[in-house]
Amino acid sequence: MSDLKGLRLVVAGAGAIGSVLALQLARGGAQVVLADPAAAGDNASGVAAGMLAPLFEALLDPLATPLYPLLLHARDGWSDVLPVGLIDRSGALFGAQSADAARRFAERAASLGGQAEPIDDARATIMVPGLQPHGGWVFTTEDWRLDPRAALTALHAAFADHGGRRLAVAALTFKDGFVGLGDGSSLPADGLILATGLGTDSRLSPIKGQILRFPGLGPVTGPVVRAPGVYVVPSQGGLIVGATMEEGVGDRSIDPAAVAALRAAAATLFPHLAEARAVAYAGVRAATVDGAPLVGAGEQPGVWLAQGARRNGWLLAPLIAEVLIDRLLGSPPSSAASAFDPARFG
């Protein structure tokens, strides 16, 4: 990445994608400003469970299925981004209702090239104490996770260590070698990278997601537990339960009915969650119609896009950074670059 040396770039958006991208650019020698008016974590990346789950995402989300090889490559990229201790490789369990359903689910995983094994209730409850017997489970070690808040803190610290600068202001425009900021000032720059959420791009639509956090409850490590329509994730700040997928909804208000449904679904896995104290959060993600992000040149010269990762912003962030840096350097397009190319929509 030596050709990045001296390149002046402004990255708009300090969530998972923007933070990883800014760090990797700074590591490559670019002069980078990371601009975001919101506090760290006050965005979709903070309202998240931090799952790096290529296999179960590909199995549970039809739009993610054809992206499985890229999701797997993206997950592996985290090993070069964060210290090993910040990534939990305990794996994930999926409640499949019966032993036959678990076997079929594992066979689907194998058909994609993934590895998962059916296990019974006895083994599952040893792996995850307090788990309600479900009839059949599937376990994989392919799916990892990180803690979003701890990861953002580590990313921003590493970015500063590599000479990066953060500004608590929005980066809005790029014209004639200057990035226009939300406070009316401007910065000299060679380019602006949009790693924000929805914005005004007509190729992106909103998806509202609501989660529950149970402060002080549950382990801080161990397998993620998933079932149709719900997941329960260990976390340093308490168990995280999610998540709704409300397509076309762009507000961050808390919906009591959606929260109640999430709690009820989580209680089928862990009965004690039915009455435990919880705090609800809502965030808005951006998505394209095919489920892949927009990564590459924007319509305006000097403006680059790194947006629209749907519900996989944390998982895809290292690969998005890799693709965009290759585009900046003029490298031949990879399979990921082709799949994420904004020009695929014409």
The string of pLDDT tens digits covering residues 256-288 is 999 999 999 999 999 999 999 999 999 999 999
Reply yes or no on whether the pLDDT at 200 is more than 90.
no
- Which band of pLDDT confidence, cut at 50, 70 and 90, is reported for residue 156? very high
Reply yes or no on whether the pLDDT at 2 is more than 60.
no
Reply yes or no on whether the pLDDT at 14 is more than 60.
yes
CB 52 within 8 A of CB 315: yes
Q: For 91-222, where are the E strands, in sequence order?
A: 92-95, 117-119, 137-140, 144-146, 165-167, 171-175, 178-181, 186-188, 191-194, 205-214
Residue 222: both structure tokens together: 């161990």
Task: Please state the rounded mean pLDDT for residues 61-87.
Answer: 96
pLDDT tens per residue across span 102-118:
999 999 999 999 999 99
Q: Which domains does the chain have, with CATH numbers?
A: 2-46+148-202+290-345 (3.50.50.60), 89-144+204-287 (3.30.9.10)
Task: Please state the rounded mean pLDDT for residues 146-151.
Answer: 94
Distance, CA of 170 to CA of 13 (rounded, Å): 8
Distance, CA of 62 to CA of 319 (rounded, Å): 20
**Quick one: pLDDT at residue 127?**
95
Task: Please state the rounded mean pLDDT for residues 185-213.
Answer: 94
